[in-house]
Amino acid sequence: MGATPHTGGGGNYYTVADGKLIKRVKEPTAFSKERTTKTGKQVHEEFYKDVSGRIVSANLKEGEYGKDWQIRLEDADGEASIVTMRHGSRYVTDLGKKLPNIDMSREVVIAPYDFTDQQTGKRRSGLTITQGGAKVQPAYTKDSAEQLPQMQQVRIKGQMVWDSTDLDEAIDALIVKYCGGVNAQPSAPASTNNSSEEAPF
């Protein structure tokens, strides 16, 4: 189990952003890149393509920049990886839609993506999840018998905006149902969680 790097390295705590799994390290490594945060702090990060393991639990963490889902994966030896994703993000929504089609007793490979569709010009982001070498398809599509709530347009201060509250709650319920419950695991240490310094999304 573990993560496949874009640039190498290793570690157990990952944040999903910009189609990558990001691990912040205290000191530079042969595979890390340096970045200056919005607060002017220099940080070092390693980047990964995917992470693998059996999904065993979920923790909804409240932080300075909002809520994050932390998904815990473990391999056959009990080695753990914690994957942090912003609550209400497309990554979390994609995970929730695919959970019913995952065999929770077996390992999966989770690979985030984020790109612009050249034909439509629309941004596409989510999680490619494979199990046993096959892609896990979403249980909820526009053609499925059971549908998730849709985003609604609401007026706030004279502006029409999209409200995802009902959809987010439905996705939360799916994560709780299939991943073992909210707050089942402790939050990641501040030194290893990107959101402790600033929102990386």
The answer to whether the beta carbons of residues 43 and 35 sit under 8 Å apart is yes
Amino acid making up residue 142? K
Q: What is the pLDDT of residues 42-57, one digit of tens each?
A: 999 999 999 999 999 9
CA distance 139 to 146: 9
* pTM of the full structure: 0.81
CA distance 115 to 197: 26
Q: What is the pLDDT of residues 99-119, one digit of tens each?
A: 999 999 999 999 999 999 988
Average pLDDT over residues 67-95: 94
Number of neighbours of residue 26 by Cβ within 10 angstroms: 9
